[in-house]
Amino acid sequence: MNKEIEIRDLGLKDYKVTWDYQENLFKEILDIKIRNRREERDEKTPNYFLFVEHPHVYTLGKSGDHDNLLISEEKLAEIDASFYKINRGGDITYHGPGQIVGYPILDLENFFTDIHKYLRLLEEMVILTLADYGLKAERSEGETGVWLDVGTPFARKICAMGVRASRWVTMHGFALNVNSNLGYFDHMIPCGIRGKAVTSLNVELGKAEVPMEEVQSKLLEHFLHLFEASAVKELEREKPR
């Protein structure tokens, strides 16, 4: 059992490049697990946690409805955004500058074998982080992610989540709006849920900008505590390419 997690901060990175990078790490862990079973070995599997910001992009989960993207390919080009149908759960999500995206690529057999618990702990990480800023965030029954003012006409989503898992290895993750341009959410039905608003941390705090690295540090602190894990290596923020 290995509860050490390598933290990698990728900076601003193209979505497809990052997706391929995730897939490579995901496959690396799966290959070790398959080899261990086939050859009766006991090689430790690594765990990774990627932090990244993406240029404007819309992604649609494997069970999502393409109609939840409300604009054409021509309009996507006009607003300098891309679109991908991907292999995670959930419906449509937007990523863009000012949003912290986290991709934990974990072998859950190093921690616990319960996907429901995994998602709830990811939500709890965000709830605790927002509490550090004086915000009362909650889960919304039947809806993955983190919300404010749940159960009121003013309910609004601040963090989306969608994961994939195979043989207890995870990929994809969460997207927390920190200083996001909320206008980009107007071009979709967020997570396929009609009639619900989206918000960002800076809007809730009434600030022009919230320090991204500060929020990221709080997320990581809560993540490591909740998973009873340790960070073995933390790379400096990579320069955008």
Residues recognised as catalytic? 191
Round to whole Å and give the CA distance between 166 and 168: 5
Q: Please answer whether residues 173 and 94 qualify as being in contact, where contact means their C-beta atoms are separated by less than 8 angstroms.
A: no
Q: Please answer whether residues 29 and 43 qualify as being in contact, where contact means their C-beta atoms are separated by less than 8 angstroms.
A: no
Round to whole Å and give the CA distance between 107 and 44: 10
Q: DSSP alpha helices (H): ranges in the chain?
A: 15-39, 73-78, 115-131, 201-205, 212-226
Non-local (6+) Cβ contacts of 127 within 8 A are 137, 138, 139, 146
